[in-house]
Structure 1
Amino acid sequence: MGMVADYGDEHIRTLDWKEHIRRRPGMYIGKLGDGTSADDGIYILIKEVLDNSVDEYMMGFGKSIDITIADDKTVTVRDYGRGVPLGKLVDVASKMNTGAKYDSKAFKKSVGLNGVGIKAVNALSDAFLIRSVRDGEARSVRFEKGNEIADVSESGVGEKNGTMVSFHADESVFGSYDFHMEYVESMVRNYTYLNAGLTIRVNGQAFVSKNGLLDLLQENLGEEPLYPPVHLSGEDIEVVITHGHGYGETYYSFVNGQHTTQGGTHQTAFREGIAKTIKEFYKKDYDAADVRTSVIAAISVKVEEPMFESQTKTKLGSKEMGPNGPTVRNFIVDFLKTELDNFLHKHPETADILQKKIQENEKERKAISGIQKKAREMAKKVSLNNKKLRDCRIHLTDKNDRAEESMIFITEGNSASGSITKSRDVNTQAVFSLRGKPLNCFGLTKKIVYENEEFNLLQAALNIEEDMDNLRYNKIVVATDADVDGMHIRLLLMTFFLQFFPEVIRSGHLYILQTPLFRVRNRRETRYCYSEEERQRAVDQLGPNPEITRFKGLGEISADEFKEFIGENMRLDKVRLTKEDPVADLLEFYMGKNSMERQGFIIGNLRIEADYVDNLI
């Protein structure tokens, strides 16, 4: 037997902490990305540093934090808290499992739970500096890729106490990247909503919130709510609740200042508590769905030693509040039972509006229940043999490391579906094929979702009929041709989601796939170009007379080539909804009766670049 017989210590190799982080960055910061998506690693790095400064503010130290992002992509975060103890500066930045967060007395309810965050930033930066100032004494330590290269102490400095961290994310790990300031600002806004009174300056621009979560809701309402938002706070909990006019339910949920975009035990308890309290208040056994349809709400809780389901902390898994306290669920349900009930007793005008809304929801639900039953049966039969859906193996609901990579492409026509189906990753990428243009559902009631076979199968494939808790794919990607017809299909699909499932958009799951408009190649190299500028650059760089192909539709791109555009280099535009985009007006313009105006707008905006989605949403 020619095998190695002795298996001793020398065969076991322990990766040093920084090597481990650099080899497996995904375990620490989710995905790498190039900055075009809000959850890309470069933003998680800023977050990890910022969390420590915000924790200081939560403990009562420092009223403001300064963030600067320089042209060379160096990020600096300076707080005015106590400053890291000078003797611990090196440990905090480079020793795994050291940090004050383990000692519950120093940081009762912090996000930066395990002291890994800042070490990950250090290991993934080609330049990292941490500097602490405490009562005239200062110490600065510099690192490169996690290796310490300088350590300087000073005394008699005139700076305010606090900690400064400066880093440059390593392009040899992240590849080429850019910070999109709107994502940084959106993250910073969330921090200010959760910490009323904290000022965070980004490149000099100050963000501050006086009314906490109430400001968050009002900033994000795409419509006038039915009644003024109900704002309730208690120790370790703050909630805001109102109802809008549309379908679906929308929640913004946070734990210890962390935006839990995928919800978790606290959000489930919040939904349950709202329905339970309201039903008991009216002493009527309303269906929970009728109570919650059109709800727009936010919740923030502080939990000791929260258990998150991943290092990126997007979903809370904790059942317990603390070693002896009530469960998270009981804590939230009990709070609503007391506070929301009191509020409704004191504000009969709000209670009346709310009851009318619930009765309307009930009436509509009953009107479609018969047709719904038939549609469900049909969807069940079809799901065993859903010709429209070519599913993938891993879904968002699975306990799998790659669950968050799951996505579904909604595409039209056999040739496009064929190319995507052949070139997709069958583990994480599903394809749903439309037959021609979907129905324009503007102004129609939810009944149409069940009457229209395609819409019914689509909601069944996504599994969003009841709520968003069991959404099967993290990204829903509209993949249509870059021509007038393709754009119209996009609008029809956006109308479907805006009208019936706005929470898909509000919680950031809907995307548009950008596909290249040109291929430019010579004998040595092939470049794919997404805009006229990129084409021009490629022509200039590839030398005389390269071959240029203009892609008119997805079907023209061969399956082998398609791999390029839905793999690592995939470019996606997220469809977003903000206060500036009143849903009703948008829908009226794009999908209402003014078809000549709209057609003129579409054709006028169908520039050769692929970024025209920004003009739509």
Structure 2
Amino acid sequence: MAKAQYTEDNIRSLDWKEHIRMRPGMYIGKLGDGSSPDDGIYILLKEVIDNCIDEFVMGAGKTIEIRIKDNEVRVRDYGRGIPLGKVVDVVSKMNTGGKYDTRAFKKSVGLNGVGTKAVNALSSNFRVESVRDNQIKVAEFELGELISDPAVEDSSKRKGTKVSFVPDPGIFKNYRYRPEYVVKMLKNYVYLNPGLTIDFNGEKFQSTNGLKDLLEDDMPAEQMLYPIIHLKGNDIEIALTHSRTQYSEEYHSFVNGQHTTQGGTHQAAFREGIVKTVREYFGRNYDASDIRKSIVGAISIKVMEPVFESQTKTKLGSTEMGGGLPTVRTYINDFIKTQLDNYLHKNPEVAEKIQKKIVQAEKERKELSGIRKLARERAKKASLHNKKLRDCRVHLGDSKNDRSLETTLFITEGDSASGSITKSRDVNTQAVFSLKGKPLNSYGLTKKIVYENEEFNLLQAALNIEESLEDLRYNNIVIATDADVDGMHIRLLLITFFLQFFPELIKEGHLYILQTPLFRVRNKKETIYCYSEQERIDAIEKLKPKPEITRFKGLGEISPDEFQHFIGEDIRLDPVMLDKAMSIEELLSFYMGKNTPNRQEFIINNLKVELDKVEE
């Protein structure tokens, strides 16, 4: 066989928009359809908002208006406006922007001059208008191509910048913006920027107390062991408390206003600083895990020229604060040592509650240690030949792999369903964990059960979340069960397990339900998979006169060849979300507690609808 020639003809230089459209993952992480909070459509929105935030930080414009309707996004700020002669360049020339001039933007979020260019290239329509000095400049693009560039005109509008865009449906398949994810993102912006108002579709978001407000919104007051400790300094703000009910630690971390969902050097230093300070305050060498158990904390720092481990900036890699300051670790440790120690001396009643919590955690850990050891040995043996887990090659922690955000663990029931998924999955990013029948109802049980129950222990080991969420191996955890009564019960039991022991998995948007088709409608030319009765009616109408209609009763019936349609790029996922109005305890006792008239009524009203669907 002749070797392929490698000559000058093989070397290709792509222009800026071609490269972004060919390799979108390098710029915005994964694509997705909007069912996950880190899907590309939210990154596009974030990139535009980041520029408005930078204006606010520089003291220009206190309000940002955002409208999302029919997948068209409009973002308007009242900042200084892009310099009129540079409007086209700023949104269409790589490495062009004001962030390179540190006199204009000191500790900015968008530092690589890529943000709005990526939005432009990945939008079917993109329009920017800038108003300053009573003049307006407008430019319009399609797929990154300039289609309208009128001259500067006089204007009486308020100064600032307005960007409108529609994500390209050719790249983002069947997408829609979920308001819950947008609201969560906007709330983080206002927590980090007290004094800023964000108006989203007519609803206004503001914060007075920064990270303190974040924790208060995150957790009902009755679940807090003591009032939130809120400490602020130059370039740093922290807030923390212990939860009365939560087993694991939970952190919200930010750098220059960027939500670092995968942590990084600042989050590690925050955890370390708390442990050191508490040990020194009490003069006891308490175990770090006992000190941190049930902590819910938030940290925000500002760094000169931060280095992130990926373009989507979810993990801080910087070790330096910049501007002549010590390292990130030293800076955070010194701040916590001084400020938290002062706080504990001034509030001995809080210190006493923390100490009691540590002693209780130590007691529980020692009681668990024997059983934990046995469980680990079992898990070690099982992981060598773990029949339950068919792993994938890439994992969430692989920061150098731009597909790490696609990593998915499917939790299936029974051999036939897991067999179909295993044969049709993408072995690079999709793993399968198969259950034997119904898992245990863990409602009201202690953490001991996670180690005693082999299935739960192996699931915890597969996810690698025993100590904290930082080492989670898969970005998406997908419950893939049949759409019948048994499948729904398994779903509920699994959600109970996660709510009871790892609620932050759900809070951070990692848990989903896989939607699978109820019907297949086909003729000799075309096959349509239908996820609802309405889709079935539409498909019959489209493929008439007499299409063949198949009703899928369970996942095991679907052949591996067909299954790849449902877990590939057209995958449909329903995120499992927490209702802010109901605490986790209320939620669990309602669904999994003793039968109450309220619950019976709820099940009769809701499950009947689902059963009708199943029986059709």
Instruction: Give TM-score, length-normalised by structure 2.
Output: 0.94
Amino acid at match of 1:353: K
Cα distance, 1:176–1:455 mapped onto 2, change above 3 Å? closer
Q: What SS is found at the alignment partner of 2:150?
A: strand
Q: 1:107 offset after TM fit, Å?
A: 0.8
Runs of 5+ consecutive residues of structure 1 not aligned to the other structure: 613-617
Matches within 5 A, 1:361-440: 361-398=361-398, 399-440=400-441
Structure 2 match to 1:587: 588
Cα distance, 1:597–1:385 mapped onto 2, change above 3 Å? farther
**Is 2:30–2:403's contact at 8 Å kept on the other side of the alignment?**
no
Structure 2 match to 1:36: 35
Q: What SS is found at the alignment partner of 1:247?
A: coil
Q: What SS is found at the alignment partner of 2:139?
A: strand
CA distance in 1, matches of 2:354, 2:20: 51
Matches within 5 A, 1:307-326: 307-322=307-322, 324-326=324-326
CA distance in 2, matches of 1:38, 1:177: 12
Q: 1:49 offset after TM fit, Å?
A: 0.9
CA distance in 1, matches of 2:579, 2:328: 30
Amino acid at match of 1:308: F
Structure 2 match to 1:12: 11
Structure 1 match to 2:252: 252
Deviation by residue 1:134-172 (Cα, 9 ceiling, x = unmatched)? 121222222222222332344542121111112222223
Amino-acid identity (%):
67
**Is 1:531–1:608's contact at 8 Å kept on the other side of the alignment?**
no
**Is 2:36–2:509's contact at 8 Å kept on the other side of the alignment?**
no
Instruction: Give TM-score, length-normalised by structure 1.
Output: 0.94
Deviation by residue 1:20-42 (Cα, 9 ceiling, x = unmatched)? 11211221112222223222222
Deviation by residue 1:198-234 (Cα, 9 ceiling, x = unmatched)? 0111122221111211121111215621111111111
**Is 1:249–1:292's contact at 8 Å kept on the other side of the alignment?**
yes
**Is 2:125–2:141's contact at 8 Å kept on the other side of the alignment?**
yes
Q: 1:80 offset after TM fit, Å?
A: 0.8
Matches within 5 A, 1:35-184: 35-71=34-70, 73-184=71-182
Structure 1 match to 2:22: 23
**Is 1:464–1:471's contact at 8 Å kept on the other side of the alignment?**
yes
Cα distance, 1:116–1:434 mapped onto 2, change above 3 Å? same
Cα distance, 1:524–1:155 mapped onto 2, change above 3 Å? closer
Q: What SS is found at the alignment partner of 2:149?
A: strand
Cα distance, 1:547–1:381 mapped onto 2, change above 3 Å? same
**Is 2:84–2:136's contact at 8 Å kept on the other side of the alignment?**
yes
**Is 1:450–1:456's contact at 8 Å kept on the other side of the alignment?**
yes
Amino acid at match of 2:95: N
Please tell me whether residue 483 in structure 1 is matched to residue 481 in structure 2: no
Q: What SS is found at the alignment partner of 1:573?
A: strand
Structure 2 match to 1:328: 328
Structure 2 match to 1:615: none
CA distance in 2, matches of 1:579, 1:372: 33
Amino acid at match of 1:110: S
Structure 2 match to 1:606: 607
Q: What SS is found at the alignment partner of 1:242?
A: strand
Q: What SS is found at the alignment partner of 1:171?
A: coil
Cα distance, 1:610–1:148 mapped onto 2, change above 3 Å? farther
**Is 2:55–2:79's contact at 8 Å kept on the other side of the alignment?**
yes
**Is 2:566–2:572's contact at 8 Å kept on the other side of the alignment?**
yes
Q: What SS is found at the alignment partner of 1:436?
A: coil
Q: 1:545 offset after TM fit, Å?
A: 3.3
Cα distance, 1:157–1:401 mapped onto 2, change above 3 Å? closer
**Is 2:34–2:41's contact at 8 Å kept on the other side of the alignment?**
yes
CA distance in 1, matches of 2:239, 2:611: 38
Structure 1 match to 2:464: 463
Amino acid at match of 2:288: A
Q: What SS is found at the alignment partner of 1:489?
A: helix
**Is 1:132–1:162's contact at 8 Å kept on the other side of the alignment?**
yes
Q: 1:58 offset after TM fit, Å?
A: 0.6
CA distance in 1, matches of 2:604, 2:531: 19
CA distance in 1, matches of 2:421, 2:602: 30
Deviation by residue 1:393-431 (Cα, 9 ceiling, x = unmatched)? 221223422222211111111111111111111111111
**Is 2:34–2:176's contact at 8 Å kept on the other side of the alignment?**
yes
**Is 2:25–2:402's contact at 8 Å kept on the other side of the alignment?**
no
- Count, aligned residues: 610
CA distance in 2, matches of 1:252, 1:610: 40
Matches within 5 A, 1:147-546: 147-221=145-219, 224-244=223-243, 245-322=245-322, 324-398=324-398, 399-546=400-547
